[in-house]
Copies of this chain bind each other. A is one copy, B any other.
Amino acid sequence: MDFPDRIESGMQRALRFATANGCPPILAKALRHAVFPGGARIRPRLCLAVAAACGDGEPSVADAAATAIELLHCASLVHDDMPCFDNAMMRRGRASVHAEFGEQIALLAGDGLIVTAFETIARETLQRPDLTGPIIATIAKSVGAPYGLVAGQAWESEPEINIAIYHRAKTASLFSGAVSTGAIASGGNPLDWLGLADALGAAYQVADDLYDAVGQDDGVGKPAGQDGRNAKPNIVATLGLDAALQRLKNLVGEAVDCVPDCPGAEAFRTMIRQEATRLMPKTLATSAA
């Protein structure tokens, strides 16, 4: 199976367990709504790509990590769309979870997806118990406090905010988790991949801010102009469009340079360049690629 098939198969399997017979029907619908159809599945593809570059020694463990990371990403979108945060009524071209099912179910669906993520790793790594703890610890670090996604969101409530620390926690940390667990699942050394993870996470944040700024709403998922309306830091607002684009180019180059020696290094570099173009708003892709 190629990466997209492995990812959808892993997500389907995780959701079959979470919404099994006996699950409250509305919650089951909301959990599926939050996860299918997916967005670009960027983070799990990155996880599987790193695992493949390292030889893909334990594909079922890599699949479990990729699934858990995407479940956590989906959970963060559900909670982030809620009225007390972005109050976004749309997500991926249709109603957000709270718009469709109400706030109570949205809150619970997000919680349920977080739990399902860790449950998936525990269940799918039974054949390699030596990897269960390291993968769960790595993913938890990338989404929790003090340095993960939850901390990143929480910086938005602080009177003073360091934009680099904020973006590292809110965006780069989950990329880092995807890269590290991909390496761990295949016997690679996650430390060799840290530079790549940092550069890619930062590149993705710039791409996300570019989408918000240039007013396209075709892939990343958040409606254009939302950062400004919600008074959130945006790199384009800070640096200007040209400098932000240049920054994205530099970060992609940096990511390519950071790929460590491994069986699949060259294929991995090619993939990063393709992803970079795919990540960018189409009106900007030609000039920055």
A residues with a Cβ closer than 8 A to B are 18-28, 31, 75, 79, 82, 84-85, 101-105, 107-108, 110-112, 114-116, 118-119, 121-123, 125-126, 129-130, 132-134, 136-137, 140-141, 143-148, 150-151, 153-158, 165
Contact = CB atoms under 8 A, between A and B. Distances in A.
Lowest 8 CB-CB distances: which A-B pairs, in order? A23-B146, A119-B140, A115-B144, A27-B154, A84-B103, A122-B136, A122-B137, A24-B154
Looking at chain A's contact residues, is the secondary structure mostly helix, strand, loop, or mixed?
A: helix
B115 A157 contact: no
A124 to B, nearest CB: 9
Report copies per complex: 2
Given A23-B151, A84-B102, A119-B141, 20 more contacts: A20-B146, A21-B146, A22-B146, A22-B147, A24-B158, A27-B154, A27-B157, A75-B111, A102-B157, A104-B156, A108-B150, A111-B114, A112-B150, A112-B154, A114-B115, A115-B140, A115-B150, A119-B137, A122-B140, A129-B132
Nearest to A110: B111
Given A24-B157, A132-B133, A31 B103 contact: no
A159 to B, nearest CB: 9
Contact of A85 (B104, B132, B143): B104
A146 B19 contact: yes
A134 B123 CA distance: 8
